[in-house]
Structure 1
Amino acid sequence: MALGFLGLAPTPGAPSVADNPRLPDTRLVGQPEVGLPADTAGAGSVYVQGANPWGAFADGYRALLGRYPWDADTAEWIMMCESSGYADSVSPDGQNAGLFQINLIHGYSTEYLLVPENNVAVAYGIYQDQGWGPWACAP
């Protein structure tokens, strides 16, 4: 059985990256397409170095992430890992919200954190104080 994102077995009937452009594409740059039916995989298709592995969906957040003096590529990786780019993401326990899944312990309301500009600003503040450590998805 092929493993999906984060090495987990896919849920039967769950959408794939091909079905939902909001999910991160975890194929590696320069690697052949694998795990796709033979009739859908491009013959010898590879990803181009420098291409955004998250696709056009994440491109909309690049300018927002670039407003702050941090490594925007790392910030984007963490954001997509934490929320798959869904600005309205809330954890099952209701304690983490938004693009960076900011914990409510920081004193912000869920509604405030669901605004992308607010969430990124708070994430940057956390990064300034603690680096990337607070995020489980940190490299």
Structure 2
Amino acid sequence: MSSEAPEPDKGQPAIGEAALLGLCPKCGSRTLFNGIVRFAPRCRVCGLDFARFNVGDGPAAFLILIVGAIVVGLAVWLQVSADPPFWVHILLWVPISTAMVLAGLRFAKGALLASEYQNKAREAGQREE
């Protein structure tokens, strides 16, 4: 038994590529997302049902911790080094945090869905279809 990740079929994108570009993990078309971070119900090209994958809140939970640590660290550094007024922090960190969360959430959700597809993950007790 090999501990390596399964080889993707021809036409299937790698997990990172699928996540970064919003590609269907089955056919590689740009049909994974229907909004900024909302999955499309299914692939318009190959018909893969994205609703059967359960990415849950895992990507959001880790992302909040990662983005929060980065933003707090940078905000403390800015405060100590430049001592700007409070409104500068608001104008700077709110848009940066929002952009980092949206970009990171899109990537994390796409990576998790692509990983579930390539590793044939399913709920415990479910039969293989």
Q: TM-score, normalised by structure 2?
A: 0.27
Which has the higher relative contact order, 1 or 2, with Cα contacts under 8 A spaced 6 or more apart?
Answer: 2
Select the structure of larger CA radius of gyration: 2
Give the structure with the larger helix fraction: 2
